[in-house]
C-alpha cells in the first residue's frame, strides 16, 4: 500500500469527525449562518497566504524539477485563484464587504505557523506530507457536498463547493498525492515522521472548521 493510502486510512477517525462537523453539515445543507461562513472565509484568506508561503518553501527544497514546478504552481494558484474566490464571496450580498482589518484566530495562526515552520525546517518529505491534507481533505469534502449543493435551488454556498469539486482541483490533489508517495518511496526512513505530519495537519483541518463555526477569537485581543 502507498504512503498516502496508509496515511488516509490511519486518519479515518479524524476524517469521520470532519464529516460530522456542524459547520460542514450546515454548509452542505445551505443552512450555515452567514456570519460563520464569513468568519471562515476571512480566516481562510489569512491561512492561504501562509499556505502559499509553505508551498513556495517546499518548491525551493524539492530536488526534482518537476516536483518543484508543481509546488510552485500550486503556490501561485493559491495566491490568485482562491484569493479571487474569497474576494468575490466576501463582496456578495449575503456576506457583505470584507473587514477592513483581519486578525488570525488562534487556530488559524497555529496551523499556518506549523506549516511554514515545517516547510522551512523539516525534511522535504515531511513538509510534503504536511501540506497534503489541505488538498485532500478539501477535495474529499467538495465531492461529498457537491450533489446536495447542485440539487438545492439557490444554495448560498454552491460556488464554494463547486471550487473543490472541480476536476482541476481534483487533479491537483491527485498530483500532490503522487509527489508525496514518490517522496516516501525514495526515503523510507522519513515515513514515520511523514505520518505524524500528515495526521497533525489533518487534525488542524478539523480544528479550523470547528473554530470557524464557533467564530473563534482571542480571549484578550491586543489593542
Q: What is the pLDDT of residue 68?
A: 98
Integer distance in angstroms from the first to the last C-alpha of the chain? 52
> Residue 215: which of 112, 85, 103, 138 has the closest Cα?
103
Domain, as residue range, for 124 = 3-96+105-213
In this model, does residue 218 exceed pLDDT 70? yes
CA-to-CA distance for 169 and 139, rounded, in angstroms?
A: 7
Q: What is the pLDDT of residue 159?
A: 87
Q: Say if CB 7 and CB 183 are below 8 A apart.
A: no
* Cell numbers for 96: 457583505
Q: Say if CB 72 and CB 130 are below 8 A apart.
A: no
Look up the CATH number of the domain holding residue 181: 1.20.910.10
What's the whole-number average pLDDT of the chain? 93
Lowest mean pLDDT across 67-71, 161-165, 212-216: 161-165
Q: How many CA atoms lie within 13 A of 136 on its CB side?
A: 26
Rounded (10°) angle between helices 22-29 and 191-213: 60
| pLDDT tens-digit readout, 2-21 | 999 999 999 999 999 999 99
Residue 191 lies in a domain: yes
On the 0-12 / 13-18 / 19+ scale of CB atoms within 10 A, 84 is exposed
| pLDDT tens-digit readout, 79-121 | 887 667 767 766 666 776 666 678 999 999 999 999 999 999 9
Q: What is the pLDDT of residue 223?
A: 59
Length of the chain, in residues? 223
Q: What is the pLDDT of residue 190?
A: 99
Residue 222 lies in a domain: no
Residue 35 lies in a domain: yes
Residue 220 lies in a domain: no
Q: What is the pLDDT of residue 4?
A: 99
> Residue 212: which of 41, 85, 79, 25 has the closest Cα?
41
When pLDDT is averaged across residues 62-82 and rounded to a whole number, the result is 92
| pLDDT tens-digit readout, 120-147 | 999 999 999 999 999 999 999 999 999 8
CA-to-CA distance for 207 and 151, rounded, in angstroms?
A: 29
Residue 80 lies in a domain: yes
Q: What is the pLDDT of residue 59?
A: 98
Residue 204 lies in a domain: yes
Q: What is the pLDDT of residue 88?
A: 72
| pLDDT tens-digit readout, 181-213 | 999 999 999 999 999 999 999 999 999 999 999
Residue 203 lies in a domain: yes
Q: Say if CB 213 and CB 20 are below 8 A apart.
A: no
- Higher-scoring residue by pLDDT: 77, 84: 77
Residue 217's pLDDT band (cuts 50, 70, 90)? very high
Q: What is the pLDDT of residue 58?
A: 98
* Structural domains counted in the chain: 1
* Cell numbers for 3: 504512503
Q: pTM of the prediction?
A: 0.93
Considering Cα of 113, then 104, then 82, then 159, what sign does the dihedral take? positive
Residue 149's pLDDT band (cuts 50, 70, 90)? confident
Q: Is 123 left (phi over 0), alpha (psi -120 to 50) or beta?
A: beta
Other CB atoms within 10 A of residue 33 CB: 12
Amino acid at each position: 500500500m502507498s504512503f498516502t493510502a496508509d496515511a488516509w486510512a490511519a486518519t479515518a477517525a479524524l476524517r469521520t469527525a470532519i464529516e460530522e462537523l456542524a459547520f460542514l453539515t450546515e454548509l452542505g445543507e445551505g443552512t450555515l449562518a452567514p456570519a460563520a461562513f464569513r468568519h471562515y472565509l476571512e480566516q481562510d484568506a489569512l491561512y492561504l497566504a501562509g499556505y502559499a508561503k509553505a508551498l513556495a518553501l517546499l518548491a525551493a527544497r524539492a530536488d526534482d524539477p518537476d516536483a518543484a514546478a508543481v509546488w510552485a504552481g500550486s503556490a501561485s494558484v493559491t495566491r490568485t485563484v482562491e484569493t479571487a474566490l474569497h474576494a468575490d464571496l466576501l463582496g456578495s450580498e449575503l456576506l457583505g464587504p470584507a473587514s477592513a482589518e483581519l486578525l488570525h484566530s488562534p487556530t488559524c495562526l497555529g496551523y499556518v505557523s506549523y506549516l511554514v515552520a515545517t516547510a522551512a525546517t523539516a525534511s522535504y518529505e515531511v513538509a510534503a506530507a504536511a501540506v497534503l491534507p489541505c488538498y485532500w481533505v478539501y477535495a474529499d469534502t467538495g465531492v461529498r457536498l457537491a450533489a446536495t449543493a447542485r440539487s438545492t435551488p439557490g444554495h448560498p454556498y454552491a460556488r464554494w463547493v463547486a471550487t473543490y469539486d472541480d476536476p482541476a482541483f481534483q487533479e491537483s490533489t491527485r498530483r500532490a498525492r503522487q509527489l508525496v508517495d514518490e517522496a516516501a518511496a525514495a526515503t523510507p526512513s522519513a515515513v514515520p515522521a511523514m505520518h505524524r505530519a500528515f495526521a497533525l495537519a489533518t487534525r488542524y483541518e478539523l480544528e479550523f472548521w470547528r473554530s470557524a463555526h464557533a467564530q473563534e477569537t482571542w480571549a484578550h485581543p491586543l489593542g
